[in-house]
Structure 1
Amino acid sequence: MLALNWHRPLMLLAVAMAILTLAAIGGMTIDDRTLTGLPIWTKAVKFALSVVIYSVTWAWLIAQFTRWHRIAWWAGTVAAAGLGLELTVIVIQIVRGTTSHFNFTTPLNSALWETMGLSIIVVWLATLVASLVLLRNPTSDPARNAAIRYGAGLSLVGAALGLLMVLPTQSQRDTGSAVRGAHTVGLPDGGPGLPILGWSTSGGDLRIPHFIGMHAAQLLPFVVIALELSARRIAATRPVAVRTALVKTAAAVYTAVLIVLTWQALRGQSLMHPDRLTLSAAGLVAAAATGAVIIIVRRRPPVDPATIQPTRTAPGAIR
């Protein structure tokens, strides 16, 4: 397959994770164990799918690079190894019937969690290197450049937000708990949550901005695709300058939404039950986004003088 040659280690990882996803879905149907309020194989499904998306995205991007391609290839290979190690630990802990994250209850659990934490840091650094190489390989379309670059940057920010979850909570510090770190803010992990995702419906949940941020690398390019398709019917989106401005606006809005979601989670507030402050912040973001889009669409791109055709006057006409 041609796609397998984009970046073989990442694509082989994607294939392995697709198989793991199917196996984990099967595990959810035949294994009735639960962990933190969810079927025990749910975490494997979520993480494997996320790795499939990451691997295919970066394999395709690295295949396009003409500058510093070797550096990007090695960065992708290191990331593939780190992600493979992370999922291996998750599966081991699922089989053992215990949590993979924040678990210091035994020397083995501590070693596995610290190994996974180290692999996550390595993956982040490798992605940073690949993102820097990305800056050296622009496409001929500025709108696509903006989507890919801002998407990669926000993806790194989203991944880094995961560090907020490894900090021990106040109650964990007070009690000297062997579990250090949590997804939920204000409540213990394992309470009421959204189906499959598990995001808390009664407290703040740091997984939300972490997830939204990490997948900016996929979602922002969809904005470009939508704009390019709309240009066939909507004249206002045909100029490249307009599409580029709209993509940059989308990236700014994405950043603002990420800030609001992180702020909401850190305040111990559920995504499903925003208060007036959160709604006001979201309203300001929506209003600013709407205003920016209106201004961009209504503003006409400057006309290139070279494209203006001189007006010919008929012989004998009054000038």
Structure 2
Amino acid sequence: MTAAPLLAPPPDAAPAPLPPPAHRRLLTVAIGVGAVALAVALIGLVVDPRSIEGAPAWLKPAKFGVSVLLYLVAIRWMLGVVTDRRRLLAVLATVMLVALTAELVAIDVQVLRGTTSHFNESTPFDTVVYLGMGGLISTVFVVTAIGAVLVLRTRGVDRTIAAGMRWGLLVSLAGMAEAVLMTVNSRWHDAGGHTVGGVDGGPGLPLTGWSTLHGDLRIGHFLGLHALQVLPLLAFLLARLPLPERVRTRMLAVAGGGYGGLLLLTTWQALRGQALLSPDALTLAVAAALLLAVAAGTAVVLVSGRHSAAVERL
């Protein structure tokens, strides 16, 4: 008679938990890299008194560190709803890890060299860094778009949360694409730039550095990127309210449309050379119309939802 294996688990033992999917492990590593990069930038802000184009030298790496961290946390959560295409997800996560790590390293290298990383073609090395970063971030855009398709085709997700992810992804991709305007902004710059109506640098708002004298294309880019967090967070808040599901999803459609409208408005304002806090009458009128449209849309959704609920109770 053959003896039972010495290390065999008892018959009623629970199965060992499965390891997390590869893409979740890879994105966790990417989040760790982003956290380290942010910590380095924050230390640099404290110990390094230098400035680049009138701003603290390590302010840009710090802003990019925060942005990359928020992006990775959100995209890791969203890709977590996808239950198939494991190999494709692992490829997407690998590309995100490599590209964003290289992007953060390139920014830090240029700070250490005492120069800018974007729109800088002063030397052959600077040109290679700038063009390489453009290629990296374009790759991130492509893999994000592929990930968005995988998320949006997934069934079984709470409809309110799914609506928040859908609008967050779509507006965020639009915000990423808006960066193209900076690369072709050649009227005031030799190699592109974010300021319209003047050169990059000069007086800016605290923390963000957005120009207080001219238009700044970074504003719409920033708003679009962070729709990836804002609109899903709104979905979570709406999911806790005692509202019918269709009302919540329609409210998210109004919010997503309004957020996209704000992205377009701030980009249009910047392209006209206006600083964010110095809008003219036309900009204010369009902003008021957008606000009115969002308020009216929200009111219509709520009233129609109450009417439908009253009819169902009859």
Q: Same fold (TM over 0.5)?
A: yes
Whole-angstrom distance in 1 between the partners of 2:53 and 2:155: 44
Matched, 1:124 2:129: no
Structure 1 match to 2:290 = 285
Aligned residues: 295
Tell whether 2:56 aligns with 1:51.
no
SS in 1 for 2:279: coil
Find the aligned partners of 1:76 and 1:277 in 2 and give their Cα distance: 43
Kindly report which structure 2 residues correspond to 1:18-57, keeping only aligned pairs within 5 A, or say none: 18-57=35-74
Counterpart position of 1:134:
151
Q: Matches of 1:5 and 1:75 in 2, distance apart? A: 11
SS of the aligned residue for 1:105 comes to: coil
Residue number among 244, 247, 253 corresponding to 2:249 in the alignment: 244
Identity of aligned residues (%): 37
Q: Post-superposition shift, 1:99? A: 0.5
Distance in structure 2 (CA, Å) of the matches to 1:43 and 1:66: 37
Deviations 1:167-219 (A, max 9, x none): 242244xxxx4xx1111110111111011211111110000000100111110
Structure 1 SS opposite 2:178: helix
Contact 1:72 1:129 in 2 (8 A): no
Instruction: Flag the 1:281–1:223 CA change in 2: closer, same or farther, 3 A.
Output: same
Query: 2:78–2:165: 8 Å Cα contact kept in structure 1?
Result: no
Superposition deviation, residue 137 in structure 1: 1.0
Task: Note the C-alpha offset of 1:266.
Answer: 0.4
- Structure-2 separation of matches of 1:126 and 1:19: 23
Q: Is the 8 A contact 1:76 1:127 kept in 2?
A: no
What residue is the counterpart of 1:102 in the other structure? 119
Partners of 2:188 and 2:196 within 8 A in 1: no
Amino acid at match of 1:73: A
3-state SS in 2 of match to 1:7: helix
Q: State the 1:57 CA deviation.
A: 1.2
State the 1:293 CA deviation. Answer: 1.1
Task: Kindly report which structure 2 residues correspond to 1:171-190, keeping only aligned pairs within 5 A, or say none.
Answer: 171-172=188-189, 177=190, 180-190=191-201
Which of residues 193, 209, 217 in structure 1 aligns to 2:228? 217
In the alignment, is the contact (CA less than 8 A) between 2:23 and 2:89 conserved in 1?
A: no
Alignment gaps of 5+ in structure 2: 1-18
Aligned partners of 2:38 and 2:61 also within 8 Å: yes
The answer for the alignment partner of 1:296 in structure 2 is 301
2:224/2:263 contact within 8 Å kept = yes
SS in 2 for 1:64: coil
The answer to whether residue 270 in structure 2 is matched with residue 259 in structure 1 is: no
For the structure 1 residues 284 and 124, does the alpha-carbon distance in structure 2 shift closer, same or farther, using more than 3 Å as the test?
same
The two structures, once aligned, show a CA RMSD in angstroms of 2.1
Gaps of 5+ in 1: 232-237, 310-319
Instruction: Give 2:162's aligned amino acid.
Output: N
1:200 maps onto 2:211 in alignment: yes
CA distance in 1, matches of 2:86, 2:155: 13
